[in-house]
Amino acid sequence: MQFKTEIKKTKYQNEFQFKSIEKLALDSTLRDKLKNDPAVIEAAELLKKGEVVALPTETVYGLAADAMNPEAVKKIFKAKGRPQDNPLIVHIADKSQLKQLTAVKIPATAKKLIEKFWPGPLTIIFSKNSNVPAETSAGLQTIAVRMPAHPLILAVIERSGLALAAPSANTSGFPSPTRAEHVYNDLNGEIPLILDGGSCHFGVESTVLDIRGDQLRVLRPGGISRGKISRFLGEEVILAADLKEERVLSPGMKYRHYAPQKKLYTFNFDDKISVLNLALKKAKNKKIAIIAARGSKIDTKKLSDNNIKLLKVFSHAEPEELARKLFDLLRKLDADQNVEEIYIEELDTAGIGEAVMNRIYKAAAADDYSQPGGGDN
């Protein structure tokens, strides 16, 4: 079915851009106002009818459907072109919604994490309630849940009364959407409605944490760093290696993600300067873009400036800046006919830098023979 996809804003659009999104997520007065906004009401009604709607979160835009409606969830996979064995994250607005999703009593560790980090970019893996459709959990006996820190999606959840399954609102494999227009560019005609909540605050997806074993494992690094979780709980948190043969518990583990259609390479000034030198040599007859830190010294004087687009757009001291800009930059360069290849300077993997480099490495690993965007996730 083809839709006439619309982008709609609420009356409170400016609030999202000029105030702390995390504080707004806790503003019950604003949430009550949003629940009565025509755009929110329309989104909630579509979701209750089993349709999919794109909604903003503090991380990236999500493609939402009723998590308890298997036919609605199937529409997410169809719209995105997403493999059926890639599990979805379910978004809630109140802790009471966990009862319909989880099978056992909430562990003490989870309660501590929820109290500290929800609403926010932390997804926790739980044992699944048998009422949750297999389509939502990709047939697993676990369910990934988070409470997003954006008042607009929270208002839609409250207005609809639904828990919402919501992966990133993009064509699978492409860079995740951090603006409403990114969603429109990928999914125009595939969904009826996109709610515009402004640019996403974090720019990378949530951290996915599995607390069920003897050791805490981050399945996907994201907006809350391993170090922050470890310091809060007072115990080690390990980064799970990508799984090759097993079924995975979290999106972002098995399939390649986040990739532009153009080839992407990484470099740094310690041990990969040869990659940058290769880029500069290629610029003699190929148009390239280089994404670098403002303080990086890159000598392009010997080569034609016409073939080099040098973008010094972030600081190593503030990796959050590149996190917010990354997917938007990759999308813009992918659409730029004057760019044939993209090179990006690596960040240190401390803090949110671990999540940023996770996304960059997956995008850079994309092969020519894979699905559009370098992956089929």
Residue pLDDT tens, the chain, 377 long: 689 999 999 999 988 876 788 899 999 999 999 999 999 999 999 999 999 999 999 999 999 999 999 999 999 999 998 776 678 999 999 999 999 999 988 999 999 999 999 999 999 999 999 999 999 998 999 999 999 999 999 999 999 999 999 999 999 889 999 999 999 999 999 999 999 999 999 999 999 999 998 899 999 999 999 999 999 999 999 998 644 434 455 454 445 567 888 999 998 866 667 788 888 888 888 899 999 999 888 877 766 667 889 999 999 999 999 999 999 999 999 999 999 999 999 998 889 999 999 999 988 875 543 333 333 33
Let me know if residue 119 belongs to a domain.
Answer: no
CATH at 333: 3.40.50.11030
Let me know if residue 254 belongs to a domain.
Answer: no
**The pLDDT of residue 370:** 36
For the chain, the residue count is 377
Structure-block tokens of residue 101? 């999703």
Do residues 34 and 183 share a domain?
yes
Q: What share of the chain is helix, strand, coil (3-state, %, to 5)?
A: 35, 20, 45
Do residues 39 and 158 share a domain?
yes
Q: How many domains does the chain have?
A: 2
Do residues 47 and 153 share a domain?
yes
Among 202, 223, 254, identify where a domain stops. 202
**The pLDDT of residue 304:** 62
Alpha helices (runs of H) in the chain, residue ranges in sequence order:
13-18, 21-25, 28-35, 38-48, 70-80, 108-117, 134-137, 151-160, 180-187, 226-233, 273-282, 319-335, 353-364
Let me know if residue 167 belongs to a domain.
Answer: yes
Q: Is 81 left (phi over 0), alpha (psi -120 to 50) or beta?
A: left
Q: Does the reported pTM lie above 0.75?
A: yes
**The pLDDT of residue 247:** 47
Backbone angles phi, psi at 343, to 5 degrees: -125, 140
Q: How far apart are CA 308 and CA 284, in angstroms?
A: 9
**Which residue, among 191, 360, 329, 332, has the nearest Cα to 266 in the 3D structure?**
360
Q: How far apart are CA 52 and CA 74, in angstroms?
A: 10
**The pLDDT of residue 173:** 84
Let me know if residue 222 belongs to a domain.
Answer: no
CATH at 162: 3.90.870.10
Per the structure, the complete domain to which residue 305 belongs is given by: 263-371
Let me know if residue 366 belongs to a domain.
Answer: yes
Among 153, 186, 202, identify where a domain stops. 202
Do residues 184 and 75 share a domain?
yes
Let me know if residue 214 belongs to a domain.
Answer: no
Let me know if residue 328 belongs to a domain.
Answer: yes
How many helices (DSSP H) and strands (DSSP E) are in the chain?
13, 15
Let me know if residue 330 belongs to a domain.
Answer: yes
